[in-house]
Amino acid sequence: MQLFDLAPSGPGPSLALHGGAGGRAEELSPADRARYEYGLRAAYEAGWQVLAAGGDALDAVCASVAALEEDPQFNAGRGAALTATGQAELDASVMTGSGRAGAVAVSRYARSPVGLARAVMEQTEHVLIVDPGAEFVRQCGLEVAEPGYFVTEERQRQLKQLLESRAAADRHGTVGAAARDAGGRVAAATSTGGMTGQADGRVGDSPIVGAGVYARDGVAAISCTGHGEAFIRGIVAYDVAARIRYAHADLAGAVRDTFAQELTARGSTGGLVAVAGDGRVVVAHNSPMMFSARGQGPQATLTT
């Protein structure tokens, strides 16, 4: 397991984001690495600009995740993984430290799934909407995109290769962010296209509160990525927060213990980013690699 622990530098904001965890058959080429790093930096800057201007944690994580959804290299929004029949079925969630949450699953028409998840939280009495139609997206005041917008040639190639080889490697990936603002509020957001070649209608952990996302003021905000079924069974995001809240564990220790018991012991892999109530940042994964950015200022530290 790899874990990066950034101690709080003061009462100011903290931000961490991820662009997916998984395995890769070969090293990234310098050109590929540069593209991923550019996307991570751009997403970090989008979130940090909000925090630096005194904005709240929810606005920051949504800005970071929306930027990643627009970058076709990452498995969210345009360029997301495709189902076995070649469809883009998108999942996303948001949660604030005050306990408010919203999520969408099998989203096909919202250009920004994380924006729609936020709209579910702020504009409806619900938490989770499945298969929201184009009219629902319009009613929420958000941009509608036709299903073909999300499909890229690269994802079609990956799906074809997977179906022909029946290989199971490097199928998943997710984007997400966690933040603490200058007022001490925390929030988290997660967005994904799921697993390449998944069954139509399959839903992973990303839109499930407590599994792929969780936030509680004074405790932590967490966004997860990896083998979704394992994160659901282990309610991984909540398990980390519960260890802090009830067992008084520190953030790094809580993450290590949750990974050991709920993921590694079950033969599953993935990662997460977490920001504690005091601003401490932890980035961790037990997969071969994870794309991430973290910091407490305008310059981010990247892992790719």
Task: Give the catalytic positions in this structure.
Answer: 174
Q: Are 177 and 170 in contact (CB under 8 A)?
A: no
What is the rounded distance in angstroms from the CA atom of residue 236 to the CA atom of residue 11? Answer: 27
CB-based contacts of 268, cutoff 8 Å, min separation 6: 226, 227, 229, 230, 231
Q: Report, in this order, helix, strand and coil percent for the chain, each rounded to 5.
A: 35, 25, 40
Task: State the DSSP H helix or E strand holding residue 21, giving kind and residue range, or none if neither.
Answer: strand 14-22
Q: Which amino acid is at 279?
A: G
Structure tokens of 259?
A: 């990974």
Distances (CA, A) of 65 to 17, 47, 113, 246: 8, 8, 9, 30
Is the Cα torsion angle 103, 223, 251, 41 positive or negative in sign? negative
Q: Which amino acid is at 89?
A: E
